[in-house]
A and B are shown apart, each in its own frame.
Chain A
Amino acid sequence: MSLSTEDVARIAKLARIRVTQDEIVAYQSQLNGIFGLIEAMQAVDTAGIEPMSHAQDLFQRLRADEVTEPDRKAAFQAIAPQTENGLYLVPKVIE
């Protein structure tokens, strides 16, 4: 497998990372190197092996549906880039 410059541009778009043409070329060669390492996996026949998503066989713990956290809205909004009237501000999405 080898990633094209178009592939790299598409991945960067998926990852919401702006890249310049020069960066695309650099990432293409670095990512292809890394995928060269990863491709070694394909040599192993893993048919019938249960995928292991986690280090332990965990199940999700449940808790009673009650309020446990204090209201820290002011402290959390104080570190935001931009807020107004208790809301986080971002550029307009819908005209």
Chain B
Amino acid sequence: MTHATLKSLSASLSEGTVSSLELCQDYLARIQTLNVSLNAFITVDADKTLAEARAADALRAAGQGGLLTGVPIAHKDIFCAEGWLTTCGSKMLSNFVSPYDAHVIEQFKAAGMPCLGKTNMDEFAMGSSNETSFYGPVRNPWDTERVPGGSSGGSAACVAARMAPAATGTDTGGSIRQPAALCGITGLKPTYGVVSRYGMIAFASSLDQGGPMAQTAEDCGLLLNVMAGFDRRDSTSLERPQEDYTRLLGQPLAGLKIGLPREFFGAGLLGDTAKAVEAAIDQFRKMGAETVEVGLPNSGLSVAAYYVLAPAEASSNLSRFDGVRYGYRSSEYRDLTDMYEKTRAEGFGNEVKRRIMIGAYVLSHGYYDAYYIQAQRLRRLIANDFTAAFQQCDVILSPTAPTTAFKLGEKTADPVEMYLSDIYTIAVNLAGLPGMSLPCGFDARGLPIGLQLIGNYFDEARMLGVAHQYQLATDWHIRAPTL
């Protein structure tokens, strides 16, 4: 049962062949067995989960259940959930039991989906390997000597290991798509503004976006139907009519124009990943899609621009962690400044400190124009490239990550090398476009390879349809690691 998709779990629940309680017990048992080695969860609270499962079963029994009522889900520990420890992967929030729910959590509660636990992540979502978590690294279920990617590494690993049928993630520069690729699952970052950021601990507010992670594109569509929606408490939440993100799943690919950015198929793309992506392109052509070469000439500078903009926003957002109203406070201090400085020195890990310092520097007097404004101008050029490319195609296809899962410790010594894990994903966040990753093969070591689809603004339904058609014709997404 733990290997089933959301779609089929939903069917089993409505047929009454399984209860939410039984389902949650199965997943909790699997979490208990596997989390010791994978470390995908920071917090598990069986009593809470089972109480929610019983409530879901009661709703269904009363004929008041929805499609996903009773199907459990794991939440990235960046989402505030009332009564749950919410750490954001940091020592700074190691004692923070949230007094309120994020909008996303409210939405899943309203849908009757029990929470299986809070998943591990890079500290404050800053990382591409999950190694910056204060709670220890998550291990990749396909090879426990390797990283699961990041920052939503716990969410990706728990879905890959079938410890949960679905999980939430957030994506600021690739944090849903890159771990989805490295763990062999499907993950989607929606158009900026589609999912409310209320109660989602902020990293870089103009880029952060929550999204679903699951086995299939179809499941991601079902989850996005729950997550998306206007929320007045997020000033960037978009007021749009509700849509059914699964409505185009059945649309055939004939006539679809797939754009292939020449900059993403260059020298940096290594053997097995290149081969798997080429094979996927052939598969799409076989199914009636046409391919067209497009250019994203400024995308090469997206990593540089991102490492100005994201730290700048982070340095401002993370100034709230001062040891006054919640979270960690240093135990010894002389005066207020001493308290701030020691609290932050002890509460934050090195990667977070590095990014706060970069941000403080690029925003400081005399450097603002040369760095921050220049990066914002590049951001415009990068976004304009996509607008031009979408004149020629319906979706854009590329690899999700330049390599498959790398070894723990392999890239921790050099931050810059780690940052380059996101070279294919970052431009999408800068432009605010929707993007997703889906499994498209394995390398010689048996590690999963991810394919990225990028859609035009608000084109999630079509993107999911394209991915679903591919998943009807292939079985990469069904394969699970032996554990």
Contacts and interface: CB of A to CB of B under 8 A. Distances in A.
Interface residues of A, number: 51
Contacts of A67: none
A18 B380 contact: no
B378 A34 contact: no
A3 B359 CA distance: 14
Which 6 residue pairs of A and B lie closest in terms of their CB atoms, listed nearest first?
A: A55-B432, A51-B376, A46-B377, A55-B192, A52-B380, A18-B345
B96 interface: yes
Interface stretch (B129-137, B299-307, B388-396, B445-453): B299-307
Given A37-B307, A60-B235, A17 B339 contact: no
B335 A49 contact: no
Contact of B380 (A40, A49, A78): A49
B230 to A, nearest CB: 10
Contacts of B303: 37
B280 interface: no
Interface string A7-48: 110011011111100000001001101111111111010100
Interface in B338-362: 338-342, 344-345, 348, 353-354, 356-361
A11 B357 contact: yes
Given A41-B308, A55-B192, A55-B207, 20 more contacts: A7-B361, A15-B315, A15-B357, A15-B359, A17-B345, A27-B353, A27-B357, A34-B358, A38-B304, A39-B304, A44-B301, A46-B378, A49-B380, A55-B383, A55-B429, A55-B432, A56-B236, A72-B100, A80-B325, A88-B324
A34 B232 CA distance: 37
Interface residues of B, number: 72
Nearest to A17: B344
Interface of A: 3, 7-8, 11-12, 14-19, 27, 30-31, 33-42, 44, 46, 49-56, 58, 60-61, 63, 72, 75-76, 78-82, 88, 90-93
Contacts of A78: 99
Given A49-B381, A61-B235, A78-B99, A18 B344 contact: yes
A41 B360 contact: no
Interface of B: 95-97, 99-100, 192-193, 206-207, 232, 235-236, 238, 298, 301, 303-305, 307-308, 315, 319, 322-329, 333-342, 344-345, 348, 353-354, 356-361, 364, 370-371, 373-381, 383, 414-416, 419, 429-432
A52 B381 CA distance: 9
Interface class of chain B by DSSP: helix
Nearest to B298: A44
Contact of A17 (B324, B348, B380, B432): B348
Contact of A93 (B336, B344, B354): B336
Nearest to A20: B345
